[in-house]
Amino acid sequence: MAMMKNITIGQYIPGESIVHQLDPRTKILATFLFIALLFLVETFTGYALGALMLFVIVLLSRIPVKFVLRGIRPLMFIIVLTLCLHFFMTEGRVILQIWFLKLTYEGLIRGLMMVSRLILLIIGSSLLTLTTSPILLTDGIESLLKPFRAVGVPAHELAMMMTIALRFIPTLVEETEKIMKAQMARGADFESGNIFHRAKSLIPILIPLFVSAFRRADELAVAMEARGYRGGEGRTRFRVLKFTRRDAAALILVAGLVILVGFCF
Amino acid sequence: MPIRVENLSYTYNAGQPMEQEALRNVTLTIEDGEFVGLIGHTGSGKSTLVQHFNGLLKPTSGKIYIDGVDIFSKGVSLRSIRQKVGMVFQYPEYQLFGETVFEDVAFGPKNMGVPDAELNDRVDQALALVGLDLSLKERSPFELSGGQKRKVAIAGVLAMQPQTLILDEPTAGLDPKGRDEVLSLVAHLHQREHKTIILVSHSMEDVARLAQRLVVMAHGEIVLEGTPEVVFRQAEYLEAIGLGVPQVTRLLQVLKKQGFAVDPDHYTIEAVEEEIVKLLETM
């Protein structure tokens, strides 16, 4: 469980800031615009401006900068790998040679660009989940996907699946702990032995966990039907999403900045 | 093999915002061959307490001694502690995983290093003890009925041949027949197999019938301790902490309050029946 604490992507930090209060649809669309920007921009000035935009949003959201940056940590390996691949695999002017590895000028530039893009992408998308509760996020996704229902996108079903999955994460974590303890009481050991031994020792946890997950799914389906659930058709909502003037302003601002930065740099 | 816990405290999520104190300064000794009923309301800390007895939880502070040895001192094998102190969790059937009943029951003894040649005997003994037919051995545990599954799970712990057995709400969710079977199994283990039994429950009737000593917990502390007679005399206090006394005991207490000459220190149906018959004869 200790590992889960370090992953900030997908984590939500409750707050009252102006960013928190925006409609989830605004934030989802703004995130998509920002991601588009990252793929339009080809210069360091552009990335710097993108970073500045993010920085301002982080300040507005009142989430500690340190916490936002922590989101990069689990992806450090991918970042370093990207950097190395670009540094040494790009053809061009050689500026440094270590044994058979040739660092080229073009590789240096490309590598740094790709990594800037990657880091901004991670921070930008984790900012969405950090300031939006999972429930609102799925409501927002459902509402945004609605127009695509005509072409067969099951908007409500997708959102319901996400909500249920998120709801059951803590339940399953608790269940796993219980089963682990029960098997440990019978002398099971999950910590020693080689990798095959350890993988095998997971069987007594995984089988009961799957059995109980299926049982829960079954019970949940019956409980939902008993309460008259029949899909999204005609369903009213307790939380009604409201797209306010503030949302419009925020969205126009982000779109304007994206167009400006995206096409000028 | 007495179990002794001294000044035990346990805090969930220590040092985090979600911190919660589950046990506070608990000191308790369980002697060899005793039958202790541990009762308390949901969230009183009883399950947390028993999970310390075989080292599944490590106390935030305090010590646990089994046979006088601190189980968290260096060089103590927790696996051997768990062999000595068997633990049947709540709804133990949810931990079944084996392809066959045999495989599942043999899991514990196998982990304890019992040689393969001996495993068959161990499984047979354990299944016979819980009253399951040996023909079930090759069946999948998932095809059995609820009561049978529970018995297989209990057999899985008994197959390790622990000297002490902790059972956490072993009758929860069973029908009356299954409940009686499990309780008479527990009684048998205590009387015939001379095992030390710790029964965690919130059913006063169950513990009153079986236990020699009751330990009552509330808010992470031991609040009452003694023989059933002594504990059930505190009917009002027990009700205040969300528990009660067996219905038949309550009947005698009410009769006494209304001026009838009865002795309210009885808590099994048979004893109360005798008391009431005596009362009727004098009238």
Cα distances (angstroms) measured from residue B220 to each of B214, B226, B277: 16, 18, 41
Residues A80-117, buried b or exposed e (16+ Cβ, 10 A)? Answer: eebbeebbbebeeeeeeeeeeebbbeebbebbebebbb
Domain residue ranges in chain A: 1-132+238-265, 155-234
Determine the average pLDDT of the residues in B175-187: 93
Which pLDDT value is given to residue B112?
Answer: 92
Q: Is B96 on the interface with A (CB under 8 A)?
A: yes
Is B199 or B15 the better-scoring residue by pLDDT? Answer: B199
Which pLDDT value is given to residue A74?
Answer: 81
Determine the average pLDDT of the residues in A194-202: 85
**Is beta strand B85-88 parallel, antiparallel or unpaired with respect to B164-168?**
parallel
SS3 B3: strand
Nearest residue of chain A to residue B55 (CA atoms): A185
Q: Which residues of A touch B54 (CB under 8 A)?
A: 185
Contacts of B135 (CB under 8 A, 6+ apart): none
Is B92–A182 a contact, with Cβ atoms under 8 angstroms apart? yes
For B1-41, how does the pLDDT look when each residue is reduced to its tens digit (9 = 90+)? 799 999 999 998 776 666 788 999 999 999 999 999 999 98
Which pLDDT value is given to residue B122?
Answer: 95
User: Chain A residues with CB-CB distance to B under 8 A?
Assistant: 178-179, 181-189, 203-205, 207-208, 211-212
Q: Which residues of B touch A189 (CB under 8 A)?
A: 79, 111
Q: How is residue A17 written in tokens?
A: 């800031």
Q: Which residues of A touch B94 (CB under 8 A)?
A: 178-179, 182, 208, 211-212
Is B97–A181 a contact, with Cβ atoms under 8 angstroms apart? no
> What does R_g of chain B's alpha carbons equal in angstroms?
20
Any idea of the CA torsion for A118, A120, A123, A129, to the nearest 10 degrees? Answer: -90
For B89-136, how does the pLDDT look when each residue is reduced to its tens digit (9 = 90+)? 999 999 999 999 999 999 999 999 999 999 999 999 999 999 999 999
> What does R_g of chain A's alpha carbons equal in angstroms?
23
For B38-94, how does the pLDDT look when each residue is reduced to its tens digit (9 = 90+)? 999 888 999 999 999 999 999 999 999 999 999 999 888 899 999 999 999 999 999
Q: What is the pTM of this model?
A: 0.77
Least confident of A91-105, A161-175, B70-84, B240-254: A91-105
pLDDT category of residue A4 using cuts at 50, 70 and 90: very low
| Minimum-distance CB partner of A208 among B83, B96, B108 | B96
Which of B78, B85, B94 best tests the A interface by mutation, with the highest count of A CBs <10 A? B94
Q: Which residues of B touch A180 (CB under 8 A)?
A: none
Is B108–A186 a contact, with Cβ atoms under 8 angstroms apart? yes
Is B42 or B188 the better-scoring residue by pLDDT? Answer: B188
Which pLDDT value is given to residue B206?
Answer: 85
Rounded CA gap, A137 and A128, in Å? 9
Nearest residue of chain B to residue A181 (CA atoms): B56
Q: Is B89 on the interface with A (CB under 8 A)?
A: yes
CA distance A144 to chain B (A): 35
SS3 B28: strand
Q: Which residues of A touch B87 (CB under 8 A)?
A: 182, 185
Q: Is B95 on the interface with A (CB under 8 A)?
A: yes
Nearest residue of chain B to residue A188 (CA atoms): B111
Across the A:B interface, residue pairs with CB atoms under 8 Å apart total: 56
Least confident of A38-47, A101-110, A177-186, B15-24: B15-24
Least confident of A85-94, B20-29, B236-245: A85-94
Most confident of A65-79, A186-200, A222-236, B227-241: B227-241
Bridge partners (DSSP) listed for residue B94: none
Bridge partners (DSSP) listed for residue A66: none
Tally of CB atoms within 10 A around A254: 21
Residue A64 confidence (pLDDT) above 90? no
For B216-230, how does the pLDDT look when each residue is reduced to its tens digit (9 = 90+)? 999 999 999 999 989
Name the DSSP class of A186.
T
Is B156 or A42 the better-scoring residue by pLDDT? Answer: B156
Residue A11 confidence (pLDDT) above 80? no
Is B112–A181 a contact, with Cβ atoms under 8 angstroms apart? no
Which pLDDT value is given to residue B13?
Answer: 76
Residue A18 confidence (pLDDT) above 50? yes
Is B108–A211 a contact, with Cβ atoms under 8 angstroms apart? no
Rounded CA gap, B28 and B45, in Å? 14
Q: Is B111 on the interface with A (CB under 8 A)?
A: yes
| Minimum-distance CB partner of A187 among B89, B96, B108 | B108
Residue A192 confidence (pLDDT) above 80? no
Which pLDDT value is given to residue A6?
Answer: 45
Scanning the structure block, which residue is given the tokens 């004098």? B282
Rounded CA gap, B220 and B62, in Å? 14
| Minimum-distance CB partner of B97 among A185, A189, A203 | A203
Residue A10 confidence (pLDDT) above 70? no
In 3D, which of A38, A56, A57 has the Cα closest to residue A46? A38
Beta carbons of A115 and A83 less than 8 angstroms apart = yes
Nearest residue of chain A to residue B87 (CA atoms): A185
Which pLDDT value is given to residue B158?
Answer: 96
pLDDT category of residue A1 using cuts at 50, 70 and 90: very low
Which pLDDT value is given to residue A9?
Answer: 52
Which pLDDT value is given to residue B18?
Answer: 65
Q: Which residues of A touch B107 (CB under 8 A)?
A: 183, 186-188, 204
Q: Which residues of A touch B97 (CB under 8 A)?
A: 203-205, 207-208
Which pLDDT value is given to residue A216?
Answer: 93
Rounded CA gap, B82 and B162, in Å? 8
- Quote the percentage of chain B above a pLDDT of 90: 75
Domains annotated on chain B, with CATH: 3-238 (3.40.50.300), 246-283 (no CATH)
Handedness of CA B267, B273, B274, B275 (dihedral sign): positive
Which pLDDT value is given to residue B16?
Answer: 63
Which pLDDT value is given to residue B244?
Answer: 86
Residue A8 confidence (pLDDT) above 80? no
For A140-149, how does the pLDDT look when each residue is reduced to its tens digit (9 = 90+)? 998 999 888 8
Return contacts of B58-61, CB within 8 angstroms, 24+ apart. Answer: B59/B5, B59/B8, B59/B9, B59/B10, B59/B23, B60/B9, B60/B10, B60/B11, B60/B14, B61/B7, B61/B8, B61/B9
Cross-sheet strand order for the sheet of B196-201: B85-88, B164-168, B196-201, B35-40, B213-218, B221-226
What integer best gives the mean pLDDT of chain A?
A: 87
CA distance B51 to chain A (A): 9
Residue A3 confidence (pLDDT) above 50? no
